[in-house]
């Protein structure tokens, strides 16, 4: 990373932009620009980055533990994001979100693990390719979901 590149740091629903130095020496500091808040559902507990509308600009999604939803914010390409679009998830306490192409259609999808349901559930929201998502499809996973990931296993 060069000093002219920007580093995007997401912490739940708190967003920072930074000019980062490659391997900074101990005397160098990394500075952040002012914090920018983007409202999402209550108690965001996890964040994942993807390109949900195929424009080459990073977008992000949050699992909203206190709202039983997932929020999607599309990037504008200038370091800002559009207002959140919110989608219902199954069960209670969506805690973890992952991005990947679940159905191999070339569009990024969301998987959201719920820790507060019995049995634990995973909501899969298939991407439409334009930044929007289809209603959640629900899958039971047993007890105590602790994480979720998407990948090519074969």
- Is 149 inside a domain boundary? no
Domain tally, the chain: 1
The tens digit of pLDDT for each residue in 87-110 reads 999 878 899 999 999 999 999 999
Torsion of the alpha carbons at 152, 104, 150 and 10, rounded to the nearest 10: 130
Q: Is the pLDDT of residue 143 over 50?
A: yes
The pLDDT, as a whole number, for residue 18 is 46
pLDDT band (50, 70, 90) for residue 10: low
pLDDT band (50, 70, 90) for residue 144: confident
- Is 29 inside a domain boundary? no
Length of the chain: 154
What is the residue range of 102's domain?
6-20+34-142
The pLDDT, as a whole number, for residue 119 is 81
The pLDDT, as a whole number, for residue 13 is 42
- Is 102 inside a domain boundary? yes
- Is 106 inside a domain boundary? yes
- Is 26 inside a domain boundary? no
pTM: 0.80
- Is 42 inside a domain boundary? yes
Helix count and strand count (H, E) for the chain: 0, 12
Q: How many CA atoms lie within 13 A of 88 on its CB side?
A: 5
The tens digit of pLDDT for each residue in 11-70 reads 554 444 444 445 556 666 777 778 888 899 998 989 999 999 999 999 999 999 989 999
The tens digit of pLDDT for each residue in 109-133 reads 999 998 766 788 899 999 999 999 9
């Amino acid at each position: 990373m060069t000093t002219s590149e920007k580093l995007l740091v997401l912490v739940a629903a708190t967003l920072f932009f930074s000019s980062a130095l490659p391997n900074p020496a101990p005397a160098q500091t990394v500075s952040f620009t002012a914090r920018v808040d983007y409202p999402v559902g209550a108690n965001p507990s996890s964040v994942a980055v993807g390109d949900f509308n195929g424009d080459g600009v990073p977008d992000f999604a949050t699992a909203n533990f206190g709202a039983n939803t997932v929020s999607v914010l599309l990037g504008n390409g200038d370091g800002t994001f559009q207002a959140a679009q919110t989608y219902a998830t199954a069960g209670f306490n969506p805690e973890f979100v992952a991005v990947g192409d679940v159905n191999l259609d070339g569009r990024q999808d969301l998987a959201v693990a719920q820790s507060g349901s019995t049995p634990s559930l995973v909501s899969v929201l298939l991407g439409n390719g334009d930044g929007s998502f289809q209603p959640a499809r629900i899958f039971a996973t047993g007890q105590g979901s602790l994480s979720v990931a998407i990948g090519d296993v074969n």
